[in-house]
Structure 1
Amino acid sequence: MPSITRRRTANIGRPTSAETDILAATQRLLINGANFTELGVQHICTEAGVARSTFYSHFRDKIDLIMRLATELLTSTFDVTSAWTPSDGVEALEDVFLRVVRVYREHAAARRALAEVAGYDATVRDFWKAELDQFTDRTITVLRAEQDAGRTPAALDPVSATRLIIMGGERAIVDHVTSEDPASDATFARELALTWWYGVYRRPADHP
């Protein structure tokens, strides 16, 4: 299996101004319809107003760049979702998913580019899977805790259920932000929350 760390950037922590400019420039180009595979480093540098050497001082290559953009998307999403616990209830979960959908709308171009590159680069595929694993691991932990507390049926298979709601849910969100009007975001978020609440956490229909 290809290493998912081989190309990862060595720069950890708060981005520098140049990093931020490069990331923002790439995002703008993608939003304006650029194909990431055909997008040259020099074009990105020109848009960002930085030298080519500056790009390579912060990113190993374009693969490193797209993974950094994807990390921004997932970090924002994980921060939102990990703050929710079942004790917060289904209405709070609706709000969580609405915020997640808005994050995906903001990063839709980068998510599209990630899918494009993952189609031919195993490193990016493995990177994306590893990044999604943090959502999977946390959800499995929460579901098992709910089972131990007697709030979710013991017959539920946390691993299978989590795969359905993480992998299926992420794809559904991508499809929604790609094809649907933002005016429908709240309705979509509500249905997603209800699917989790009643379908996975298995709360009874009259549970608040």
Structure 2
Amino acid sequence: MPHHGRSPWHGEISYIGMGEQLAQHLETAYARDIPVILVGHSMGGKAAMHVALTCPELVAALVVVDISPKATNKGGFFRPIFEGLNGLDLTTLENRTQANVLLKSSIPDDTVRAFLLQNLHFDHHAKRWYWQLNLEGLTHSIDAINDWPEQDARTFDGPVLWIAGAESDYIVPEDSDAMRALFPRVRKVAIKGAGHWVHSEQPAAFTATLRAFCDAVSSSPEVT
């Protein structure tokens, strides 16, 4: 995923820009000979949908986790998170435990906070803490992250698993028509006891659901 982990930070933070980078990476590194099962959560889910719609030859099947193909208004949810991460003084930080305590007021959910702290790393050579994601770029791109690009009547005709957190409000019943219009073979599954961070809050149920879908796709005569 561009702007995350060890992936490059170059290019605009938009679903068109990130989709192009993802497609190029898939084409050269993974899907040169055989299309892949592409999985994306939230922002990554929108990017994955865009890749499937624009470069369907690279994607055998798609898994979209707790997001819909629409513009959203989730800035109010993400802004306190970004403010908390940006407000953490990495120059005086002693350890990850201290970071967890300092972030609790801005990110009160223990699961979300622990998930986000996976992006905090220590450079033993430079003796400093750093974020392994483009925090500044993502902070200034909340509007682009909330957006969804027009798709020019494209569809992806491969199998699609749409995983929702049963306690999340990121997917609502009205989204089903828009999802099915772009992905005619979509199947929706709601994971009980999970909010938006489905894979972090219910990892066993999420993994079992994902594995069953991947096994079914891999055994299909359509995928060789």
TM category (shorter chain) comes to under 0.3
TM-score by length of 1: 0.25
Q: Which protein has greater RCO, CA pairs closer than 8 Å, 6+ apart?
A: 1
Relative to its length, the structure with more helix (as a share) is: 1
Structure number with the higher strand fraction is 2
In terms of Rg, which structure is larger? 1
